[in-house]
Amino acid sequence: MSFSVAAPPAPLCTEIPRHRRARDGPRARLRAVRRAPDPGAQSAVHGARERPGEIHAAVGRTSDSMGWGLMIAALLPGPLLAASAALAARRGRLSTRGLLMIMLGLLALGTPIYLVASFPAGMTLADTFGVGGADHAPWARILHTISQIAALALAATIIHRAATRRPRPAPVRA
């Protein structure tokens, strides 16, 4: 008579020792996903597997969409406006200060446009997998910081322009 002892189940990718989570943060989670012992092990997204394309397939099975149309419509005007303003400035049809104000305005609008463009995708992932749809990407903080600095610089430029503008002489009436 032989006894077989069942091996303990393979740990899920999200089961990272507490000391590793505190020390390594998101990198430890990424390494855990890469080293998943079972190809069917779950990743950090609830219900999604490690295999490529499965998140896309899971979203495709729902009635939600990732909002690609809104994403393109919200993000495309910025680079087009920046390129046309740079071209106009190069041809001499736009002053340097005007170009500076347009570029600072575009950078200041980065955060609100990013919110509009990414909101549908975040909500779709939240609804599909039962997770929070918030953005936790480290580069989002960089965008928010640059956006705030650009808004302050734009305000300073507008105030400086108003303060240094010479009053026009009144027209002489005969």
- pLDDT tens by residue, 49-103: 446 577 778 877 887 778 888 999 999 999 999 999 999 999 999 999 999 999 9
What global pTM score does this model have? Answer: 0.62
| Structural domain contains residue 119 | yes
- What does the pLDDT average to over 21-37? 47
User: What does the pLDDT read at residue 132?
Assistant: 81
Adjacent-strand bridge partners of 42: 49
| Structural domain contains residue 1 | no
| Structure confidence at residue 39 as a pLDDT band (50, 70, 90) | very low
Alpha helices in the chain (DSSP H): 18-24, 26-34, 54-60, 68-75, 77-90, 96-108, 110-129, 138-164
User: What does the pLDDT read at residue 57?
Assistant: 80
**pLDDT tens digits, residue range 113-141?**
999 998 888 888 888 888 887 888 888 99
Q: What is the mean pLDDT of the chain?
A: 77
Report the distance separating Cα 118 and Cα 111, nearest Å.
Answer: 10
pLDDT beyond 60 at 6: no
Domain count, the chain: 1
Domain interval for residue 112? 65-164
User: What does the pLDDT read at residue 84?
Assistant: 97
| Structural domain contains residue 155 | yes
| Structural domain contains residue 39 | no
| Structural domain contains residue 125 | yes
| Structural domain contains residue 14 | no
- What does the pLDDT average to over 101-107? 97
Percent of the chain residues past pLDDT 70, beyond the cut: 70
Burial call 144-160: b when 16+ CB within 10 Å, e when fewer: eeebeebbebbeeeeee
| Structural domain contains residue 108 | yes
| Structural domain contains residue 173 | no
Most confident of 5-14, 38-47, 113-122, 147-156: 147-156
Higher local confidence (pLDDT), 3 or 81 = 81
| Structure confidence at residue 42 as a pLDDT band (50, 70, 90) | very low
